[in-house]
Structures are given as structure tokens and as C-alpha cells.
């Protein structure tokens, strides 16, 4: 496929999971009232989405290697659409929980195949350039999500929010049918338990992959984790309405978009490594500001979202190079390597979300957990730099 088509499909598939999360978040406080349940129960729906997303990647990746990128993607998109339909007609919080789990399982294929098709066709600076462009779309899509979700919630109620996800799933499936050309040679042997174990052992035994995954788990994982906290911090503590929350989240996605566009403009003057150094530095600075502001400043919109924007801007500079370096050793099992990368990121987000629920107070959890994740990424980046120099 051409670079343009690869970029479009990679962006569409990669944004499936984040958009499904972003559109849903403004409805979380409303669902507490609609089902007469607790915040903890609704937070669990997001945690189950994370769990389904994370665990299913470990199957989606090998299936994409075994069946081919296109058949595996369509199979999981069917699961995603089914979960979205179930959520639309759910009459209890228990059904919402089941539906979100199914949605997570179905959405898991997006990020796995999105990265795998890039690795199948491109390497080095070309791959980093495509991933940077995908990052721009990754900012625009989820940026629209909270706003669209908040407006839909205000106009039509929470059921309509899930109908949007049904429509997005159908649109994605249509694009896969008509635009995606197979980029790998299917090998059913990749589904054999012995081969599956060997492939994942190879991935997890690579020190460069592990350090790259620590960086991504700390930074991208922090985005997933804070999505379980920010709706309650901004709506309950800062007193934003759901619509204001949706609009306010544009600051996060806008920072990522600005970072991606800035990197694209500067890519001819700085190397991928230099860009990643800038990115991780901003993530570290943002983490320190975040922890300090929560500890010593009464929560207002800018005290919460300002540090988030700094970290997210840095993330845009960081991820193209780190993903490229982490995936480079695995051209023969790109699906499995992509799956493990995503699994570790989502697991980090899930564990952090569970820790936030255990702490109880969303603001306190936000000020402790997110900075700790960002700083762990800084440590991982320093270790990665040492390993790359030795190669």
C-alpha cells in the first residue's frame, strides 16, 4: 500500500480504542444517576474496557500474524460492534459492564494492526514519519470524542453515546473491507501454543523492547489512567458540566496535536532521537508540576489541565521514535510485538486505575499516580538510551 493509504488506515485503526474511550467519558457521571449506582461501579466499566483491551491484544496480535491483517481485523470489529449495540440497549449497570468488556476486546485489534501494517511495510525514518502523522490523527480523533460525547449526551441521552460507537465501528469495518490490502503472509502456525509462547518469549527477552515498553507504559499508560480520574476531578471538584468537560479535554488533545504538528515541521532539522529527548524532558517536567499543583493549589481547570498539556505535548515528540526502536527487532512477528507493546501500556493504565479506585479520592490519586508513571518513563528512557548505544 502507498504511504498515504497506510497512514490513513493506521490512524483509523489506532484511534478506535481511544475514541471509544473519549466519547464515553462525559457520560460516566450521568450513568451513575441513570442506574442509581456508585462512581466506583461506573469507573469499573472503564477498567473492564481496559482489561478487555489489554488481554485481547495478546490474541489479536498472533491472530493477525496467523490469519492475516484483514480477516483478523474484521473479526474483532464485529465483536466491537456487538458490544456497542449491547451497551445501547443495556437496562442495568451489569449489562453496561459486560458491554464495555466486549467493546474492549473488539477494539484491541485496532492499535495492534495499525502498528503492524506500518512495521510490515516501512522501517527507520519512514516508519517514524508515518507514526508521527498517525499521531496527528490520534490527537484530532480523541479530541473530538469528549466534545461530541458531551453534546450527544446533553441532546439525546446516554444511549445515543453508544450509538455513535456503533456507527464508528461500522465505518471502520467498511474502510478495512475496501482499502486494506494484506501486508503479511498468513501463517496458522503462529496460533500453535508452542509457537505463541516462543514468539512472546522472544519479544519479552529483548532488553530494548522492554525499556521502550517501560517508556510507553509510563506515558501512554498515564493517558489511559487519568481518563478514569479526570471526569470526576473536573466535573465534581472543578464543577464543570459534562459539555464543559468535553470542551475542556480539547486542551489535552490539542497539546498532542500541537506537539505532533511541531514535530512534523521540525523533523528535517532534528533527529528522531533528539525529538524523543525533548519529549521525555517535557513529560518529566509536567509530572513535577502536576504533583506540586495538586499538593499545594486548590483545583481549578488550569492547575489540573496545564501539567496534563505539558506531558501530552512531550508525548507527541516521544512516541514515534520509541515505537520504531521497540518494534525494529521483530519484522517476522510484528503483530505479536505490537500486541505485547499495547498489552503492557493498557495493563499499566488498568493497574493505575485500580490503584486510583483504592485511594478513593480522584484528585489525590491523580496527583500521586500520574506523576509516578511519567517519572518511571523517564527512567525507562535513560535505560533505553544506554542499550541503543551498545548496539
On the question of pLDDT at 163 being above 70, the answer is yes
Phi-psi category of 36—alpha, beta or left, where left has phi over 0 and alpha has psi -120 to 50?
left
pLDDT above 90 coverage of the chain, percent: 34
Residue 30 grid cell? 450521568
**pLDDT-based confidence at 139, cuts 50/70/90?**
low
User: To which residue does cell 508513571 refer?
Assistant: 373
Residue 283 grid cell? 513529560
Q: What is the pLDDT of residue 143?
A: 62
On the question of pLDDT at 333 being above 90, the answer is no
Q: What is the pLDDT of residue 391?
A: 64
Query: Does residue 314 contact residue 259 with C-beta atoms inside 8 Å?
Result: yes
Domains of the chain are 3-180+198-390 (1.20.1250.20)
Q: What is the pLDDT of residue 313?
A: 94
- List phi, psi (to 5°) of 188: -60, -20
Residue from 11, 2, 9 nearest 320 by CA: 11
Residue 312 grid cell? 501530552
* Measured distance CA(92)–CA(104) in Å, rounded: 19
User: To which residue does cell 458531551 refer?
Assistant: 150
Cβ neighbours of 181 (radius 10 Å): 13
Average pLDDT over residues 183-194: 82
Half-sphere exposure of 137 (CA within 13 A, CB side): 18
- At 197-240, the pLDDT tens digits run 888 899 999 999 999 999 999 998 898 788 778 888 888 888 88
Query: Does residue 244 contact residue 32 with C-beta atoms inside 8 Å?
Result: no
Query: Does residue 215 contact residue 384 with C-beta atoms inside 8 Å?
Result: yes
Average pLDDT over residues 328-353: 82
CA distances for 42 relative to 100, 103, 255, 267, 353, angstroms: 10, 15, 28, 42, 12
* Measured distance CA(281)–CA(276) in Å, rounded: 8
Amino acid at each position: 500500500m502507498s504511504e498515504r493509504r497506510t497512514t490513513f488506515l493506521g490512524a483509523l485503526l489506532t484511534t478506535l480504542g481511544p475514541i471509544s474511550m473519549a466519547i464515553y467519558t462525559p457520560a460516566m457521571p450521568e450513568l451513575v444517576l441513570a442506574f442509581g449506582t456508585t462512581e466506583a461501579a461506573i469507573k469499573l466499566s472503564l477498567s473492564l474496557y481496559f482489561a478487555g483491551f489489554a488481554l485481547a491484544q495478546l490474541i489479536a496480535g498472533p491472530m493477525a500474524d496467523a490469519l492475516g491483517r484483514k480477516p483478523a481485523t474484521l473479526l474483532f470489529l464485529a465483536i466491537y460492534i456487538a458490544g456497542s449495540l449491547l451497551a445501547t440497549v443495556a437496562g442495568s449497570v451489569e449489562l453496561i459492564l459486560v458491554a464495555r468488556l466486549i467493546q474492549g476486546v473488539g477494539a484491541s485489534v485496532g492499535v495492534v494492526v495499525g502498528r503492524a501494517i506500518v512495521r510490515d511495510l516501512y522501517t527507520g525514518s519512514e516508519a517514524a514519519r508515518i507514526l508521527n502523522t498517525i499521531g496527528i490523527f490520534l490527537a484530532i480523533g480523541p479530541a473530538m470524542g469528549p466534545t461530541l460525547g458531551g453534546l450527544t449526551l446533553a441532546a439525546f441521552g446516554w444511549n445515543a453515546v453508544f450509538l455513535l460507537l456503533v456507527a464508528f465501528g461500522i465505518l471502520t469495518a467498511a474502510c478495512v473491507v475496501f482499502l486494506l490490502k494484506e501486508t503479511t503472509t498468513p501463517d496458522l502456525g503462529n496460533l500453535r501454543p508452542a509457537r505463541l509462547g516462543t514468539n512472546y518469549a522472544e519479544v519479552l527477552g529483548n532488553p530494548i523492547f522492554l525499556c521502550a515498553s517501560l517508556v510507553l507504559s509510563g506515558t501512554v499508560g498515564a493517558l489511559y489512567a487519568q481518563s478514569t480520574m479526570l471526569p470526576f476531578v473536573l466535573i465534581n471538584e472543578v464543577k464543570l458540566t459534562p459539555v464543559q468537560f468535553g470542551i475542556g479535554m480539547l486542551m489535552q488533545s490539542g497539546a498532542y496535536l500541537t506537539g505532533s504538528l511541531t514535530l512534523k515541521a521540525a523533523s528535517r532539522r532534528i533527529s528522531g532521537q533528539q525529538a524523543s529527548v525533548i519529549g521525555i524532558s517535557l513529560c518529566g517536567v509536567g509530572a513535577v508540576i502536576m504533583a506540586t499543583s495538586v499538593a499545594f493549589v486548590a483545583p481549578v481547570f488550569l492547575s489540573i489541565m496545564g501539567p496534563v498539556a505539558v506531558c501530552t505535548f512531550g508525548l507527541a515528540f516521544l512516541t514515534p521514535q520509541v515505537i520504531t526502536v521497540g518494534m525494529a527487532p521483530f519484522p517476522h512477528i510484528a503483530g505479536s510485538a505490537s500486541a505485547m507493546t499495547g498489552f503492557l501500556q493498557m495493563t499499566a493504565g488498568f493497574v493505575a486505575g485500580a490503584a486510583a479506585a483504592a485511594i478513593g479520592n480522584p484528585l489525590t490519586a491523580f496527583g500521586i499516580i500520574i506523576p509516578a508513571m511519567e517519572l518511571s518513563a523517564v527512567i525507562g528512557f535513560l535505560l533505553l538510551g544506554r542499550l541503543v548505544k551498545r548496539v
